[in-house]
Amino acid sequence: MENFESMSHVRWECKYHIVFIPKYRRKVIYGKLRTGIGKILRDLCTQKGIEVPEGHAMSDHIHLCIKIPPKYSVAYAVGFMKGKSAVRIHRELLHERRMTGLYFWAPGY
């Protein structure tokens, strides 16, 4: 019971293993994109109070072990991370100027 997180009404330990895959499974997560994508995902997680105890980037996918508080559903947290990170990856790392149609991740999780 010592390693559980607590809120005002609950004690919890919700860890999830999530794999993000780029659209069409392209091998684009290496070099500058690898460190940039990791920083973007960690920034988005800290915005919502989600912990990232472990994460690994491969050439065509990213493994994340995340601790999501019970106030957020898994679908909401993953949707937030995939949606916001796709926009930030295109703007900050790929230098796209358009505002719509910025897809980076494959559907699902």
Give pLDDT tens digits for 93-102. 888 777 677 7
Which two three-digit tokens encode residue 86?
């796709």
Give pLDDT tens digits for 55-93. 998 888 999 999 999 889 999 999 999 999 998 988 888
- C-alpha torsion sign, points 106, 107, 108, 109: positive
Taking the domains of the chain in order of start, what are their residue ranges? Answer: 9-93
Which two three-digit tokens encode residue 89?
């990856």
Confidence of residue 13 (pLDDT cuts 50, 70, 90): confident
Query: What type of residue sits at position 92?
Result: E
| Three-state SS at 101 | coil
Alpha carbon distance 17, 52 (integer Å): 10
pTM of the model: 0.84
CATH architecture of 9-93: 2-Layer Sandwich (3.30)
Our measurement of the distance from residue 95's CA atom to the centroid of its chain's CA atoms, rounded to an integer in Å, reads 20
**HEC sequence for 40-101:** HHHHHHHHHCCEEEEEEECCCCEEEEEECCCCCCHHHHHHHHHHHHHHHHHHHHCCCCCCCC
